[in-house]
Chain A
Amino acid sequence: MSDSTRTRSLRRYGWAILIGVLAVVGILLAVADISAGNRWPNPMSQALVGPATGATPAPNQTQAFRFDRSRVGDRLIFDFPVGGLGPLSPYQALRAFLTNGAGLVLLALAALVIFPSRARNAVERLEARRGAEIALGAGIVMVLLTLAAVTLLRFTLLFLAVVPLVLLVALVAGLFGVACISLAIGRLLHHRLRLPNVHPLIAALAGALVVFDLAVIPYAGVFALAAVAMAGIGLAVVTRFGSASGWSFVDLDF
């Protein structure tokens, strides 16, 4: 097979290879995250990849075994002699990938399918000059604003019931923003790696896997995920959920 033919076939399957590599990297990073979590417990990391291996459930949690009848995970734990880290659990890492990773991909793709034109507007503004830093800055300010507003509402009885609504809006904004960031990352990979044209949801899938991979980096992953989530909230806010007209007070001036 000539070099050009091999390169062409590699390029043809470029997206499949990229997605496979990102999935494998995600699982390997999750293995490392679980192993490091056994040595130096990190509650935020446990939320992403699950509890430390070898943790015995409390007596009142025995019903959880109904969901894990095979208990293969208990047998697939290997000692890690180097660096004094905890045991390696590839099965638990795979489980983290198939739960949190799949959930992230599913929600990101759902947001793009439901709001395609809004997602496009938001991604265009994210890809513009200084779009990413403005989104991150707005996300940090939004977190401060939300915390202050929620704390303020906490001291009222009339508006206490609004607090879950505020948090729900923040969650939806974050999900929409993360979906747009996933699409933007996919488009960036498309251009940088000169991959063939593909359905935008495939590009978004690759972008969402990059976000998952960042989130399961041991210790740093929590901060990376927080940065992506804050940038997502900021992007949703500055673009008014990707609306074409953006924020305007013209209608109030009559």
Chain B
Amino acid sequence: MQAPASSGRLSPIPPQSAHLAPSRTRDRRAWTLLAPEAILATFILWYLSGLDGLGSIASGIAGDLQGLAGWGSGSGPLPSVPPVDVLLLLALIALTAIAAYHLSILIQLTPQAMPTRRRA
């Protein structure tokens, strides 16, 4: 079987519109997804009483990790999980899912790697 290049014919150029249309849609989607993300992030921040609440979560993680390590070594009780509203959990899961989908769109927009060129 001959390679297409040796047959003296160039492979047909794909119609440009077929390539541009999905790219343009992805482009638009990459921008429009910022809106639900911003809304969810603002809602979560408001729900957690701003950056102070977010900071208390971070410090709580450190404290609970210490408690967990202490429990593992048998020197302390198991730390208790703080009670959380289902609404907040749903907002966090929605933000995680939308952000992951947004990332997948951005990855599709990223130019592909070029073949490695080595110096002779």
Chain A interface residues toward B at CB < 8 A? 117, 120-121, 124-125, 128-131, 134, 137-138, 141-142, 144-145, 147-152, 154-157, 160-161, 163-164, 234, 237-239, 244-247
Contact = CB atoms under 8 A, between A and B. Distances in A.
Given A154-B61, A237-B103, A125 B82 contact: no
A187 to B, nearest CB: 15
Given A144-B99, A151-B44, A152-B89, A137 B106 contact: yes
Given A138-B103, A149-B96, A125 B113 contact: yes
Nearest to A157: B81
6 contacts: A129-B111, A134-B110, A154-B60, A156-B81, A157-B64, A245-B113
Nearest to A156: B81
Contacts of B79: 157
Contacts of A163: 61, 65
Q: Tell me the interface secondary structure of chain A in the complex.
A: helix
A142 B96 contact: no
Interface in B66-120: 68, 78-79, 81-82, 84, 89, 92-93, 95-96, 99-100, 102-104, 106-107, 109-114, 116
Given A152-B93, A163-B61, A163-B65, A141 B99 contact: yes
Contact of B106 (A120, A129, A141, A147): A141
B94 to A, nearest CB: 9
A130 B81 contact: no
Interface residues of B, number: 36
B84 A144 contact: no
Given A160-B68, A161-B65, A155 B89 contact: yes
Contact of A161 (B30, B68, B82, B99): B68
A162 B36 CA distance: 27
Interface of B: 30, 37, 41, 44, 48, 54, 57, 60-61, 64-65, 68, 78-79, 81-82, 84, 89, 92-93, 95-96, 99-100, 102-104, 106-107, 109-114, 116
B100 to A, nearest CB: 6
B119 to A, nearest CB: 12
- Nearest first, the 10 A-B pairs at minimum CB distance are A145-B99, A128-B111, A148-B95, A238-B110, A138-B106, A148-B96, A155-B84, A121-B113, A152-B92, A141-B102
B96 A246 contact: no
- For A121, A238, A239, which residue has the most chain B Cβ atoms within 10 angstroms? A238
Nearest to A242: B113
A150 B92 CA distance: 10
Contacts of A131: 110-111
Contacts of B65: 160-161, 163-164
